[in-house]
């Protein structure tokens, strides 16, 4: 096998699929397993395309992968795994805005209350003229 020349990027490592040690040192069992998976994929694709292109078809074609994807999208909390990143994002977008808005409104209200008590607040709008 001849592999294309790959230049190393300065800030990124070489992808594992392009690593010559990983690419050329594949055992016969791994090659056989890859060939079996490719044959299975090709067979499934052929079955699906045969059903799809059947001119006498009357029923819907059920794609199991699409069914799994739709179910996962419809029920996201069944498949949610809390990690550090999701916890940090929840804190950042859920809790921090509440406390920051509270602090902004509280300081604005306190400043305005102090101006009212000192008599230095000029009110620009009044209902009674």
pLDDT tens, position by position, 29-60:
988 999 999 999 999 999 989 998 999 999 88
Q: Is the pTM of this model over 0.85?
A: no
Residue 3 clears pLDDT 80, i.e. is over it: no
Write the secondary structure of the chain as one string of H (helix), E (strand) and C (coil).
Answer: CCCCCCCCCCCCCCCHHHCHHHHHCCCHHHHHHHHHHHHHHHHHHHHHHHHHCCCCCCCCCCCHHHHHHHHHHHCHHHCCCCCHHHHHHHHHHHHHHHHHHHHHHHHHHHHHHHHHHHCCCCCCCCCCC
pLDDT for the residue numbered 1: 52
């Amino acid at each position: 096998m001849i592999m294309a020349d790959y230049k190393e990027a300065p800030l990124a490592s070489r992808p594992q699929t392009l690593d010559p040690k990983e690419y050329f040192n594949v055992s016969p069992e791994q090659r056989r397993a890859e060939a079996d998976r490719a044959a299975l994929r090709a067979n499934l694709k052929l079955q699906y395309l045969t059903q799809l292109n059947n001119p006498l078809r009357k029923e819907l074609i059920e794609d199991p992968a699409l069914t799994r994807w739709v179910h996962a999208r419809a029920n996201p909390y069944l498949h949610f795994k809390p990690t550090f990143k999701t916890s940090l994002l929840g804190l950042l977008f859920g809790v921090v805005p509440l406390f920051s808005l509270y602090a902004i409104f509280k300081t604005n209200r306190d400043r305005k209350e102090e101006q009212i008590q000192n008599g230095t607040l000029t009110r620009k709008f009044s209902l009674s003229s």
